[in-house]
Amino acid sequence: MASTILLPGQPLPSILITPPIPQCGSGCYELDGRILSSIVGVPKRDGSVVSVIGRQESNNTPEVGSVVIGTISRLTTQQAHVTLITSNDRPLPETSEEFQGVIRITDIRLTERDKIKMGDCFRLGDLVKAKVLSLGDARSYYLSTAANELGVMYAISETGNPLLPVSYQEMEDELTGKREKRKVAKPEGI
């Protein structure tokens, strides 16, 4: 439960607010008897104090095998560049240089690798779930989406509407019904 990422204004999970009622620490506040997050971060209880640990306080860094989430920031015909946000459900620390990852065309899917087109798998701004293959070079981690649960988690259509997954290779505009190709992550719980 402590790996849940909260946004400002969201209540802390009730499992952390069990009696004795805790005091508010950093990153949270009390309003009308509820304890709410004041920052983006992970909730934590330490004795009688609850807090929300934000990116700047996190010492989390991706390692080989970590599951990361990030947004597609640049595309070429051979690579998708990803700005990483979380690693293993924990926010990454804010640094002067953002954490970057690269998904090479050969690491997108396990099958039919010779038929893959980058533009049919990712678009700029897509929210992607991937696994760290290696630490790569000094600038980027090498990432893979070659598993059913990895790939695009959230995307916006060409017309600006949210896309919903309909298969492993397509997402559908929830308003217009138009389908767009993506390497879709299998939704959790399905």
Q: CATH number for the domain including 120?
A: 2.40.50.140
**Residue recorded with tokens 């970057």:** 100
pTM summary value:
0.68
pLDDT of residue 5: 80
Please report the pLDDT score of residue 130 as a whole number. 96
Phi first, then psi, for residue 55 (nearest 5°) are: -60, -40
Domain residue limits at 42: 14-57
Residue 187 belongs to some domain of the structure: no
CATH code of residue 40? 2.40.50.100
Can you give the pLDDT at residue 21?
79
The pLDDT score that the predictor gives to residue 2 is 44
Same domain? 72 vs 52 = no
Tell me if 190 is assigned to some domain.
no
Contacts of 49 (CB under 8 A, 6+ apart): 22, 23, 24, 25
Mean pLDDT of successive 10-residue stretches along the chain, which has 190 residues: 72 81 86 86 85 69 89 95 89 74 92 84 95 84 94 93 91 93 81
| Domains held by the chain: number | 2
Pair 30, 100 in one domain: no
Same domain for 100 and 177: yes
